[in-house]
Amino acid sequence: MKLILSRKGTDSAAGGLPSIILPNNKIVSIPIPGDDDEKITYDDVYYCKESKESLAELIAKVSKNIHYGKNKKMFSKEIKCHLDPDINVDAYLRSESWRGSFGQIGAAQTVLTNAHVSKGDIFLFFGWFNRTYFDKEGQLKYCKGDGFHMIYGWLEVERKIYTKNDPIPDWLEYHPHMNNNKRDNANNCIYIGTENLTIDNKIKGYGVFEKYDDSLVLTKNGMSRSKWDLPDIFQNKTITYHNENSWKTDYFQSAFRGQEFVCQENVEISNWVKEMIKSNVNQ
């Protein structure tokens, strides 16, 4: 099993605001803004099954603007979002055949191809997050500070679909990587999640972590978000976009660019992944 640490969700360029940890520790990953031909808006997406509030309504509470390409725009419910990875069953209307999925294209997909990412490999999705609080007027606000990188979800690969030539199941037609500007690209690939994890068949093969836990945080305490506290089991292992110089005296300097950090296969890393998922599911 290979582990892929996959950078997803809004960042300082795409979106311009961190994903949210609510005051009750609920984790809410914010997808990046979508292209004009996207089918889904932020108002179409729900961030938890217990709330009837859309993701758009939540974002509007913490930010008036959103970075859309190279421009900063006034945030509105009608802005399209790139719902990918799509691993939260409660986020959108689902067909019975739906599975968690994740699309990749271009140079980032080439990285995954060259690393032979395939069935049984596991993506751990991480992004930029910050905590929030309610002020004296009851308004939701971001806490001060730059936030941190944190793992928020997972997907074990069952199969890959190259959209230009492979048969496409009907339930997948909604996916943002099925849009006209991507589906005929020979390097456009959608990864379909397994029904259950191979390492523990009591757990779904994809999903999001509901609650914040220190074990999900990559950033080293007190440091900027790109400086990670990776376990020693990652040392002397190949990680795409990184080399031996990434390991500093007291932290791991994660790459500023790049989406897909593929880690060398290793039993200890596999056990670390298993324990992280098991200990954080359904908290």
Tell whether the model's pLDDT for residue 68 goes beyond 90: no
| Residue 101 β-bridge partners | 86, 192
- Whole-structure pTM over 0.95, yes or no? yes
CA-nearest of 197, 228, 118 to 162 is: 118
The Cα 107–Cα 165 span in angstroms is: 19
The one-character DSSP state at 61 is: H
Domain tally, the chain:
1
How far are the Cα atoms of 66, 123, 173, 212, 217 from residue 151, in angstroms, in the given order?
Answer: 23, 10, 27, 10, 6
**104 in a domain, yes or no?**
yes
Structural domain includes residue 210: yes
> Is 29:9 a contact under the CB 8 Å cutoff?
yes
Reported as a single tens digit per residue, the pLDDT across 192-246 is 999 999 999 999 999 999 999 999 999 999 999 999 999 999 999 999 999 999 9
- Residue at 199 is within a domain: yes
The residues that bridge with 204 in the sheet, in sequence order, are 196
188, part of any domain: yes
For residue 182 the two structure tokens come to 């991507």
Domain extent at residue 160: 3-8+83-134+143-280
d(CA 201, CA 265): 21
Asked if pLDDT for residue 282 goes beyond 90, the answer is: no
Which residues are 206's β-sheet partners? Answer: 155
Report yes or no on 192 lying in a domain.
yes
CB 215 within 8 A of CB 276: yes
Residue 63 lies in a domain: no
Does residue 163 lie within any of the structural domains?
Answer: yes
For 196, phi then psi, to 5°, come to -140, 160
Model confidence over 91-142: pLDDT tens digits?
999 999 999 999 999 999 999 999 999 999 999 999 999 999 999 999 999 9
Domain membership of residue 162 (yes or no) is yes
Nearest to 145 by CA among 136, 159, 164, 132: 132
